[in-house]
Chains A and B, each alone.
Chain A
Amino acid sequence: MLRLLWSKELKAGLYTWKSLAWLLVTSLIFSVTSYLMLTNRELSLLDQTEMLWLLSKVILSAALLVVVIDSSSLITSEFEQETIECLFLAPLTLKDFVLGKLAVSFTLWALVYLVAAPYVIVTSAGSQLTCAMLGYTALYGSLTVLGFTLLVFAVSFFYRSLRNTLTTSLTVLLASSISALFSSGLKRSAFARALGSINPLDNVFASLDNVLVDYQVSLGRNLSFLLPLVGFCAVMFGFLLLALRAFSRKGITKD
């Protein structure tokens, strides 16, 4: 049942060219970014480790943006196209429905990662950081995609509307990125430090800095960054369970 749903959504993405369009956009972003960075590197304006760190941030940010936007329509489109009733008239459990959609989000992330991998390999050539960069990008990408997708799904079940889901999800994503706008002074403040300790994206970027710039590649040395991310996923999972409970109470068609 899960495989059937996943296959249907995958075909929908391919045959409506949605997924391919996303992959093309991310590929172009990576092409421009890596070209500019390597040009700067040849001018010795950019150290290779800094370049890899920047590239990993671009990859994760682009992937998150794509997955959040695409996932926002995965469930809400079933409500808006009025196909949800037929789905739940069939012997399809809510669990299989959600897991099937989650598998699609992960597939999109996996495809973006596969698109990004050659750029990582080329830009990290000669640095001995290729495996670390690929590994940590996969790990942190998967966890952040999981967390944000669970959030998007929860919001989808609450709102049942693409516009509201997308607005809310993008707002949360932007709020997670807000520390990038802090001045160096504000970054040292207690507020910024507190925010940084729980913000999943801050932890991811700090860990990548630790791995790629400071060469702290072992997982043990990055546990302090990994744990808040796992916590974020757990919180979002709880939020989704709440949303599913509310959905079951309200019924498939809204009153």
Chain B
Amino acid sequence: MRTLLLTVSVLALLVFAQRVPAESASPLELRVLSSRTLSGTAGDFVEVVGEIANSSAQATDSITTYLSLVDTGTKMPVDLEDWSAERGLFIGSIDAGQTLPLTWKIHFVQPGAYALAIVAAVEGRDQPIISALTFFKVAAKRNLNPGHVLPVALGEPLLLVFAFLLLKYRRDRKHP
């Protein structure tokens, strides 16, 4: 099911870059609300906020919403295993006219450019519902001295080499 959803998401994202025309719109609408605050740096934890709205006259049951992420550089889907512990959010029922919030906490694991969408799978429907794409960038974290380890990481080997040379010099001087 997960693989199917991923594949369908990628195809959908690549083919349907625009919103679905009104005539074939589903009763449910998905929106990503945090599109302007998503960009960050590798290592950051961010919250993806979205909502699902039921614009039809009937309640809809058994909806599961997922995040779908694609690396726009490599055009490959991103396995969200490292990015988010929260995969699917299950919504038991959404009444007619009701709007419900959706939130996912994600961890920016790798730098790059990405496109994100919320996908909803409804029981009894073949086609999933997909929100508009949200594009964001994750900048690389550049820290040459993580945890202030560099003085030790470089200093110790250099100190040992210095000790080596000093001993050699003293030995050679004493015993030419």
Contact = CB atoms under 8 A, between A and B. Distances in A.
B161 interface: yes
B contact patch SS: helix
Interface in A153-173: none
Nearest to B146: A38
B157 interface: yes
Nearest to A33: B153
Contacts, number: 72
Given A20-B163, A43-B42, A45-B82, A35 B156 contact: no
Interface in A86-134: 115, 118-119, 122-123, 125
Contacts of A119: 149, 152-153, 156
B167 interface: yes
A17 B161 CA distance: 11
A51 to B, nearest CB: 9
B167 A42 contact: no
A14 interface: yes
- Chain A CB count within 10 A is highest, among B42, B146, B148, B168, for B146
A24 interface: yes
A31 B161 CA distance: 14
A15 B149 contact: no
B85 to A, nearest CB: 13
B3 interface: no
Contacts of B157: 24, 27-28, 31
A187 interface: no
Nearest to B45: A44
Interface in A1-33: 14-15, 17, 20, 23-24, 27-28, 30-32
Q: Which 9 pairs across A and B sit closest by C-beta, in order of nearness?
A: A38-B147, A31-B153, A38-B146, A43-B43, A42-B146, A118-B152, A20-B164, A27-B157, A27-B156
Given A27-B156, A35-B153, A119-B153, 11 more contacts: A24-B160, A31-B153, A34-B149, A35-B146, A38-B147, A39-B146, A42-B43, A42-B147, A115-B156, A119-B149, A123-B147
11 contacts: A27-B156, A34-B152, A42-B43, A42-B143, A42-B147, A43-B43, A44-B107, A118-B156, A119-B149, A119-B152, A123-B147
